[in-house]
Structure 1
Amino acid sequence: MSNLVNDKLSETRTNLVHEITLLSYTQFNDRLDMDKWSIAQICHHLVLVEQATIKAIAWGLKQVDNTKPERQNVHLILDRTKKFKAPEIVEPASEPFEVQSMFDLLNDSRGKLLAFLSTIEDKSLLGEKSFKHPALGELPLDQWIEQIYLHEQRHIEQIKEMKILLDITN
């Protein structure tokens, strides 16, 4: 994995942690509407996406297909005017979360992702193999990694908006 991707993963996670650090239990779990996620649920969704990404990359590496996958415009994820329905596998739990327990979940999922990626001996395979992404279609495995921090950036913007609407200042 390139240093740039590593830096982006780290920078984005730092920004996420900054946005949620000072939230109270109530602020973290409040919902603007019953059909909208709380900030806690958004964070749980990010944990689940990271876990699902590990599985997708693992499955993609096992593929025998020899056709080089087409690069996708993964930056489409940042366009928040485009709504995506989260697949069931990455829908967050409905019960409330403590901010500290979410930090633990976020740290655990990131640690597992980085540990998994470090076990891939031939990193060139990440650009040569693909797996179907629910929103972006057939996606090269290295772009699965890139979409983690782009997806997280998308949700950080959502959290910032929610904090304004919930009148949270920090």
Structure 2
Amino acid sequence: MKNDLQSELTNTKQDLLNTLNLFDQENINVVPFEDSWTGGQVAEHVLKSLSGCLQNITGPTKLTERNPAEHVKQLGEVFLNMNIKMKSPDFIIPSNDPKTKALLIKSLAESLDGIKIVAGTEDLSATCTGFEMPMLGALTRVEWISFSLFHTQRHIHQLKNIANHLKTQTA
């Protein structure tokens, strides 16, 4: 399981960084269409989420008294379903400030690398007690890491759509 998660984190990180490189410093802060975040805002949202996940999986834990992967399938079904529109919790909503592409890329890579280290070195069955997922409660490390993958993959899809839209606007 650890090797699979580490491999998936590596692949997701590479996909995210490649996708962010579809943007340049000028268009990363451009709103592509009405009611959309900019590419930079999506990246900041992902960064806030990954940073929170990393903090949670390196924080306090307790022994798990259920299947440690119990919620992984459900998390994947929800976050990888692009037909479901979601509302972000306030604490990970991005600011309206201009974003620096290079800084976003560096910070996102560092967060994903940190999660990958935890995935390879810590007890993934432990339940994290620092923050509870709305509607699911306390999640295990394997569930939080899976969430971070699914959530990031969801927003990679969104970033690709934004980049394509911006490309057609300037073509």
TM-score, normalised via structure 1 length: 0.80
* Structure 1 residues 20-169: aligned runs within 5 Å: 20-33=20-33, 35-59=35-59, 61=61, 63=62, 67-68=65-66, 71-72=70-71, 73-75=74-76, 76-116=78-118, 120=122, 123=123, 126-129=124-127, 132-134=132-134, 136-167=136-167
Maintained 8 Å contact 2:28/2:38: yes
| Residue 139 (structure 1) shift | 3.0
Deviation per CA, 1:54-96, whole angstroms, max 9, x where unpaired?
23334551x46x5325712121210122122211221222211
CA distance in 2, matches of 1:10, 1:159: 18
Query: % of aligned pairs identical?
Result: 23
Stretches of structure 2 lacking an aligned partner (at least 5 in a row) = none
CA distance in 2, matches of 1:54, 1:101: 18
CA distance in 2, matches of 1:84, 1:69: 27
Calculate the aligned-residue CA RMSD, in Å.
2.6
AA matched with 1:127 = S
Deviation per CA, 1:118-157, whole angstroms, max 9, x where unpaired?
663xx1xx32525521365543321110111111111111
TM-score, normalised via structure 2 length: 0.80
Stretches of structure 1 lacking an aligned partner (at least 5 in a row) = none
SS of alignment partner, residue 167 of structure 1: helix
Q: In the superposition, relative to structure 1, how do residues 151 and 138 fare at CA in structure 2: closer, same or farther (>3 Å)?
A: same
Maintained 8 Å contact 1:19/1:160: yes
Q: In the superposition, relative to structure 1, how do residues 49 and 9 fare at CA in structure 2: closer, same or farther (>3 Å)?
A: same
SS of alignment partner, residue 127 of structure 1: coil
CA distance in 2, matches of 1:115, 1:136: 25
Paired residues, number: 163
| Residue 164 (structure 1) shift | 2.1
